[in-house]
Amino acid sequence: MALLSLLLATLYDEAIEYVLGCVTACKAWSNLVDRFASVSKSRVNHLKTKLHTIQKRGDSIDRYLLRLKNIREQLTVTRELISDNDVIIAGLAGLPKEYAIIRTVILARESSISLKEFRALLLGAEKEIEGELSGVSHNRYALSTQGDSSASGSNPAGHSHLLATTGGVLTSCQYPYSADPYMQQYPSPFVFQ
């Protein structure tokens, strides 16, 4: 009776209705297991699916790893043990293509790595990718300002055949037509749209 009283004292209102009328702690526990075991299995399956389908998207590496840790902790509460290696594999699978090199390096290792090492490697890759992206942005800006100065007539030689680019992609190129009427009949092979 003391054990049944203790069990009843720890239950919240929704769960109490499943043990009302039970005269033994064993019967009360069996009722609770019958009621909540299937919900827990469903929750475990949901969390495992979430772990295997997680994507980094726009999150920072720290935020992404925090989401992975949260899922792992929720699974641990349900008595599902997820190894460090399982977390690393799930984390690598959710990274975008910019992380392809670090993904290959980590997967090709013969020795396992700790989550601390995994985090350090991903943070290093994140900094490198951010550096490359800022370099690309700088180059795009330089190309766009160069294209603007050519279009505004500041091109001293008047060459309208300079490439106009947007983000490194050729979008147009004009080639001056020849004064020869025969050449004007045919489109220039240097005009791109």
Encode 84-97: b = buried (16+ Cβ within 10 Å), e = exposed: eeebbebbbebbee
Asked whether residue 102 is assigned to any structural domain, the reply reads yes
Model confidence at 143, pLDDT cuts 50, 70, 90, reads low
Q: Which of 27-31, 118-122, 134-138, 144-148 is the least confident region? A: 144-148
Give the three-class secondary structure for 148: helix
Q: How many domains does the chain have?
A: 2
Q: Please enumerate in sequence order all residues whose Cβ is within 8 A of that of 109, keeping only pairs 6 or more positions apart, or say none.
A: none
Asked whether residue 26 is assigned to any structural domain, the reply reads no
Q: Which of 27-36, 51-60, 132-141, 160-169 is the least confident region? A: 160-169
Asked whether residue 186 is assigned to any structural domain, the reply reads yes
Asked whether residue 27 is assigned to any structural domain, the reply reads no
Residues 81 and 119 in one domain: yes
Asked whether residue 108 is assigned to any structural domain, the reply reads yes
